[in-house]
Amino acid sequence: MSFSKLVTLALGLLCGIAGYTDVSASTISVKCEVRSSPARSKISVDGAGVAGKFYAQVKSGGVLKSTGVKSSDSANEVEFDLDSNPADIKAGATAISASFIKNKYVIGYIRRSGTNGLIAAASATCAAK
């Protein structure tokens, strides 16, 4: 089992024990990328099997950033983009600094709007370009 799957399983178990997890058949995908020239951080958090309104959080190097609230689409999917590129921010991505991603590693969370209940969490090792 990969490290990211172990982290996801551990987070889910801990949150489930604490009573913070929404019961659903949801899945999460976290992808990230760091660039050095020009400096850039880019993160995508996607959820499937979710219905309602949600927001995402990403954590790297001890810093947590939240997105705005989005509703799932007709296929019960929701997508969140966070980026340091001004063009992507203008197109709707949540702004993060070019140095947001630390050690090429992020953890992404999807939470239900209103209750802040944790739907799913996953980690990712970022591609370096």
Q: Are 83 and 89 in contact (CB under 8 A)?
A: yes
Round to whole Å and give the CA distance between 48 and 36.
31
pLDDT of residue 25: 62
Domain 3-128: give its CATH architecture: Sandwich (2.60)
Round to whole Å and give the CA distance between 49 and 66.
21
The pair of three-digit structure tokens given for residue 19, joined into one six-digit string:
């009573």
Share of the chain above pLDDT 70, in %: 81
Q: Are 106 and 41 in contact (CB under 8 A)?
A: no
pLDDT of residue 126: 98
Report domain extents, the chain.
3-128
Write the CA distances from 49 to 27, 103, 108, integer angstroms.
7, 30, 16
Round to whole Å and give the CA distance between 63 and 106.
10
Tens digits of residue pLDDT in 28-83: 999 999 999 999 999 999 999 999 999 999 999 999 999 999 999 999 999 999 99
User: Cis bond leading into 38, ω under 30°?
Assistant: yes
